[in-house]
Structure 1
Amino acid sequence: MAEDLAIRKGNKSEQYRSIVPQIKSLLSGETDLVANLGNICAALKEQFGWFWVGFYLVKNDELVLSAFQGPVACTRIQKGKGVCGQAWEQEQTLIVENVNQFDGHIACSSKSQSEIVVPILRNGKFIGVLDVDSEHLAHFDEVDQLHLEQLLSLVDFSSL
């Protein structure tokens, strides 16, 4: 596939229906996990214009920053700390409409106003999260959750 994306306007579901097959094509035949995670972040950020999109992967009992798009970020997050650490502890997707009202939020940037964190589990093992931040309040919902969870199912994490 060419490295250009066809950015689609429209409602959120239409945008996902357009970008997910393009991401699937980008992943096809590529075995390097970091390259694939980087392209996922870039494609999502380009399509949706989110403030920050990135992955944290479990290493030595903490989440460690991996591929991302956006400003510099927190490098390490403990289990149970912040939205990412809570998603790890609960092993479920968390949608936060206002991060300033989330007890224990880790503010990597004061510009972030809402967040969705999608856990990555394979064969019953928690291996990381996809973390997405927006500069707008209440930006994420169940539509994002559904499509981001489906998108993560396309990624081969077997190298971890």
Structure 2
Amino acid sequence: MFNVELYKGSKEEKYRLVLKQLAALIEGETNRIANLSNAAALLNQFLENVNWVGFYLVEGNGLVLGPFQGMPACIRIPLGRGVCGTSAAEKRTLLVEDVHQFPGHIACDAASQSEIVIPIIKDSDLIGVLDIDSPNKNRFDETDRRMLEKFVEVLAKHL
């Protein structure tokens, strides 16, 4: 694998390299858990100033914890509750600069200060969400949003 940390390009160029790495990692693999596990590990290695990277998957009327990198996390989240549940229910990306200002925020890790959650949609069906937390406020920006949405698009094709 190419070491993106040594690459001196722009943030968007680094994300493009990670997209290529993801595609290479999951090409030809059909196992959902394996692909989600490698995707979480890849993002955890690539992203700076994050303390949790992982997935919550739709189960019944809520989300259940999937593959992740970081501290132990909440196991079940109702649709419409917290950042993950709201993103899933509304099927839209949420970029939260300060999680303590988000109504109904679920504090799984007290160190988390900001968060981005991207819904995973395949064939119009919600599969789950990609959740990334940071110990820094205002960690995520529009480049993160745009490129992580592309990351999820690539990933969804292999789920």
Question: After TM superposition, is the score higher than 0.5?
Answer: yes
- Aligned residue for 1:143? 143
Aligned residues with identical type, % of pairs: 45
Unaligned runs of 5+ in 1: none
In structure 2, the residue matched to 1:36 is: 35
Q: How far apart, in 2, do the equivalents of 1:147 and 1:77 lie?
A: 25
Normalising by structure 2, what TM-score? Answer: 0.91
| Ranges of 4+ aligned residues in structure 1 off by more than 6 Å | none
Unaligned runs of 5+ in 2: none
Q: How far does the alpha carbon of each residue in 1:34-75 deviate from its partner, in whole angstroms, 9 at most, with x for none?
A: 111111111111011321000001012110000100110000
Contact 2:26/2:158 (<8 A) preserved: no
Which structure has the higher relative contact order (CA within 8 Å, separation 6+)? Answer: 2
**TM-score, scaled to structure 1:** 0.91
1:7–1:47 contact (8 Å) kept in structure 2: yes
- SS at the partner of 2:56? strand
Q: Which amino acid aligns with 1:117?
A: V
- The Cα of 1:158 is off from its aligned counterpart by 7.1
State the shift of 1:5 in Å.
4.5
Q: Which one is further off, 108-117 or 11-20?
A: 11-20
| Aligned residue number for residue 105 of structure 1 | 105
Alignment correspondent of 1:15: 14
The answer to whether structure 1 residue 74 and structure 2 residue 83 are counterparts is no
